[in-house]
Amino acid sequence: MKLEGKVALITGSGQGIGRGIAVRLAKEGADIIVDDRADDSRAQETLAEIKALGRRGCVVSGDIGQSDNDRHIIADGIAQMGRIDILVNNAGVERHAPFLEVTEEDYDLVLDVNLRGAFFTTQAFAKHLIDDGRPGRVINISSVHEELPFPNFSPYCASKGALKMLMRNLAVELAPHGITVNNVAPGAIATPINTKLLNDPQLLQRLQQNIPLKRLGTPDDVAGLVAFLASPDADYITAATLYVDGGLMRNYSEQ
C-alpha cells in the first residue's frame, strides 16, 4: 500500500469519478475526506465504502463555487482528520448550449465550480501545508477539453483550459514548498455527468467508434492514474497533464 499514513480530500466524491478515486486511494492505504455539495446519502455511501476497507474517513460539504466554502471545506477536513496531504480537485459541472445562447447564470455556475472552486480550495490547502512545513500533492481532474474544442460547451472548455494554466503556474510557485501539481485529463467516462449520452444508443455508438480503444472509460481507469500521481512513484512529476482517454484526443481517420 503506497499511501499509508496519508490523508486525501477529494471534492465531489459523492459519485462518479470522485467516488472511484476516494475508494481507490483508500485501497492504497489513505484515510479519506469525502466532499460533496451536501452531507447526504451520496456522500455517506462513499464514506461507508471507505470504512468497509478499514480506513478512517469523514464528510465535509458545501458548494465549492463559493470561496468561503472552499476555505471551510479545508478547515473542516483538517479539524476532523488532523491533516491533509493530498487534494484532488474533482468536482465539476457542464452545461450544454450553443455559444450564442449561453446564459450568464450557466457561465457563472460552470466557471465557479470548475475553476474558482479548484483555485481557492488549493489556496487554502497550500497554506495549510506551508504552515505545517510539509510537502503535498494537488491533482486536478481536468478533461481532454483543456486542449480539445467541444462545440456547445464553451464555458466548460474555458474552465478546463484555465485549469491547465492554473496547474502549470501553481506547479512552479509551489515547487519550493515540495508541493506537486498535476492535471489528470479524462476523456469520455461512464459517469452521471454523461447521463444523456449514456441513454442515447446512437450517440454512444458514434462516440465509441471515435475512441481508438473502442469503449468508454470507467471511474477506475481514472482512479488508477490518480493513485499513481499521489504515490511516491510520482515524486518527480509536476506541471504535467496526463491523459486517460482511450486515445480519443489523438484520433484521426479517413475511413
| Helix boundaries (H) for the chain | 16-27, 41-52, 67-81, 104-111, 117-132, 154-174, 195-198, 201-210, 219-230
Give the three-class secondary structure for 105: helix
The minimum distance between CB 11 and ligand BGC, in angstroms, equals 16
Say whether residue 226 binds ligand BGC (CB under 6 A).
Answer: no
Among 117, 187, 217, 219, binds ligand BGC (CB under 6 A): 187
Q: How far is CA 184 from CA 107, 198, 216, 254, in A?
A: 23, 22, 16, 29
The minimum distance between CB 230 and ligand BGC, in angstroms, equals 21
Give the Cα separation of 32 and 7 in Å (integer). 6
Closest CB to ligand BGC among residues 62, 92 = 92
Say whether residue 143 binds ligand BGC (CB under 6 A).
Answer: yes
Residue/partner pairs of 92-97 with CB below 8 Å, 24 or more apart: 92/12, 92/141, 92/143, 92/159, 92/193, 93/193, 94/153, 94/156, 94/193, 95/153, 95/155, 95/156, 96/152, 96/153, 96/196, 97/152
Q: How far is CA 58 from CA 8, 118, 143, in A?
A: 11, 20, 27
Give the Cα separation of 154 and 158 in Å (integer). 6
Closest CB to ligand BGC among residues 78, 222 = 222
Q: Candidates 23-31, 79-87, 141-149, 220-228 — which segment interacts with ligand BGC by CB under 6 A?
A: 141-149
Total residues in contact with ligand BGC, by rule CB under 6 A: 10
Say whether residue 145 binds ligand BGC (CB under 6 A).
Answer: yes
Closest CB to ligand BGC among residues 119, 150 = 150
The minimum distance between CB 72 and ligand BGC, in angstroms, equals 27
Closest CB to ligand BGC among residues 107, 150 = 150
Question: Which residues ranging from 72 to 101 are in contact with ligand BGC (CB under 6 A)?
Answer: 94
Among 124, 193, 227, 244, binds ligand BGC (CB under 6 A): 193
Residue type, 43: A
Say whether residue 18 binds ligand BGC (CB under 6 A).
Answer: no
Say whether residue 113 binds ligand BGC (CB under 6 A).
Answer: no
Among 9, 144, 157, 222, binds ligand BGC (CB under 6 A): 144
The minimum distance between CB 22 and ligand BGC, in angstroms, equals 19
Say whether residue 194 binds ligand BGC (CB under 6 A).
Answer: yes
| Residue number, nearest CB to ligand BGC | 143
For the question of residue 156 being annotated catalytic, the response is yes
Residues with catalytic function:
156
Residues making contact with ligand BGC (CB under 6 A): 94, 143-145, 150, 187-188, 193-194, 197
